[in-house]
Amino acid sequence: MSIKISETLTFECETGNYHTFCPISCVAWLYQKIEDSFFLVVGTKTCGYFLQNALGVMIFAEPRYAMAELEEGDISAQLNDYRELKRLCLQIKKDRNPSVIIWIGTCTTEIIKMDLEGMAPKLENEIEIPIVVARANGLDYAFTQGEDTVLAAMAHRCPEQNLLIGKKQEIKDKKGKELFSFRFPETEEKKNIKSKNNLEDKIPLVLFGSLPSTVASQLSLELKRQSIHVSGWLPAQRYTDLPALGNGIYVCGVNPFLSRTATTLMRRRKCKLIGAPFPIGPDGTRAWIEEICCVFGIETQGLKEREQQVWDSLGNYLNLVRGKSVFFMGDNLLEISLARFLIRCGMIVYEIGIPYMDKRYQAAELKFLQNTCKKMCIPMPRIVEKPDNYNQIQRMRELQPDLAITGMAHANPLEARGINTKWSVEFTFAQIHGFTNAKDVLELVTRPLRRNNNLENLGWTNLVK
């Protein structure tokens, strides 16, 4: 197998025989994010077994999610789906009284063509709890794309807000009105007195992507420093606080795997999408803020210094990673942004495996990756969509990277063969966004390297016969 490292970004597509998490895993972080929600995964024992093992201890903390486990009678349609789901949802309502129930469709509901979208509105009326349907199944999606399907479904539930910039604001539904008056309490007179900066305040910006609340407020604060007011997040901390959407509202993604949500926001909710690199790493965060400011016609203030400050604080980590090589096996769609950040840190990236590559949604990020490679004088990595893990391992044998970012199925076997690994899943659960958390990314990346510094001279690198 020949290994070429090209001068321009090359895209390849392999067999799709790779290891990743099932997209239903998104319930793990989404139920924690959306505090008044309940996630009901309509699937089989296989789905349940995955969830309980993948989520480990969380399962014991009375999570707000459960399986609607399909039995033989459900598969062969001896039981009535609607009646069954109604029974379970009433039970959930009684036990937990959530503000929303989110049905997660799985492979099985796809194959037996269970009409979840059709049943939800009827049942919703009957039990008086909103029911959102997301088809996060392994037939169509990988890992983090699960969140994408949930957020895309939720985008339809955001209250409507029609806004014509510079003119009188029209508010359609009641919910939107309440939200609106809450967010913009200023009267006309006050507004006129206020400076130019506050005029920008009026352009509503909704950010989409689920982040821990501390990270979300860190990012909001960064934008506030540039006089940009974030009018809402999709998802919000509570389902009842979903942001208002509509014509003229700007939206911007914080994660690279949200292409369906972006499409839904643009096409169905008529929002304007700001295509920017993602705020991962100080370089990414700065580019993200600059892009938003640029759209709003704001001159950024002190960003360059802020970025430099963060880089300076990372000195010790940078010394560890500089010149080292990385191989991304690919499983969570954060790969492009992480690779771009690591290249900027001075690493060499051999290959970026990625489950799915939306070249339009990630356009700015790809461009940024290309520029970063040029700037750092490093050959462009190959981007491998739908990778084949078997082939990747063969390639890794030849390349002997200093670090492989990989799923847990391959981590231990690779370590036993002397290749350092970092579990990719950790990047999904760790806080990696914004200036403040750049350190956390490098903390993760350098962990195996630091471990090596400690164990270096013991002669135990290769542990297979």
Amino acid at the residue 277 = P
46 versus 214: smaller Cβ distance to another protein = 46
108 versus 428: smaller Cβ distance to another protein = 108
CA geometry: angle 245, 250, 253, nearest 5 deg: 95
User: At 366, is the secondary structure helix, strand, or coil?
Assistant: helix
- How do beta strands 65-69 and 131-135 pair? unpaired
**47 marked ligand binding residue:** yes
Residue 159 in contact with another protein, rule: CB under 8 A: no
Q: How far is the CB of 418 from another protein (least distance, A)?
A: 11
Residue 398 in contact with another protein, rule: CB under 8 A: no
Residue 67 in contact with another protein, rule: CB under 8 A: yes
**373 marked ligand binding residue:** no
Residues 22-41 that bind another protein (CB under 8 A): 22-24
Residue 278 in contact with another protein, rule: CB under 8 A: no
Whether 107 contacts 139, CB under 8 Å: yes
Which H/E stretch holds residue 52? helix 45-54
DSSP label of 345: T
3 versus 416: smaller Cβ distance to another protein = 416
**107 marked ligand binding residue:** yes
- How do beta strands 272-273 and 325-328 pair? unpaired
74 versus 402: smaller Cβ distance to another protein = 74
Residue 97 in contact with another protein, rule: CB under 8 A: no
Which of 36, 69, 291, 426 touches another protein by CB under 8 A? 69
CA 252, CA 365: separation in Å to the nearest integer? 13
Q: Which of 370, 366, 312 is nearest to 337 (CA)?
A: 366
Whether 338 contacts 328, CB under 8 Å: yes
CA 370, CA 368: separation in Å to the nearest integer? 5
User: At 77, is the secondary structure helix, strand, or coil?
Assistant: coil
Residue 396 in contact with another protein, rule: CB under 8 A: no
Q: How far is the CB of 199 from another protein (least distance, A)?
A: 48
Which strand ranges, in their side-by-side order, compose the sheet holding 272-273?
230-234, 205-208, 250-253, 272-273
Residue 50 in contact with another protein, rule: CB under 8 A: yes
Residues 107-136 that bind another protein (CB under 8 A): 107-108, 110-112
84 versus 241: smaller Cβ distance to another protein = 84
Residues in the chain: 465
Candidate segments 64-72, 148-156, 271-279, 439-447, binder of another protein by CB under 8 A: 64-72
Which H/E stretch holds residue 373? helix 363-376
**Site map 338..377 versus another protein, x via CB under 8 A:** ----------------------------------------
31 is written with which tokens?
């139920």
CA 323, CA 317: separation in Å to the nearest integer? 12
Question: What DSSP string describes 271-300?
Answer: PEE-----SBHHHHHHHHHHHHHHHTT---
Candidate segments 2-10, 87-95, 344-352, 446-454, binder of another protein by CB under 8 A: 87-95
Which of 164, 376, 416, 455 touches another protein by CB under 8 A? 416
Which residues make up each annotated binding site? 22, 47, 107
Which residues make up each annotated binding site for [4Fe-4S] cluster? 22, 47, 107
Q: Which residues bind another protein (CB under 8 A)?
A: 16-17, 19-24, 42, 44-46, 48-50, 52-54, 56, 59-60, 63, 66-72, 74-75, 79, 84-85, 87-88, 91-92, 107-108, 110-112, 137-143, 390, 393, 407-413, 416, 463-464
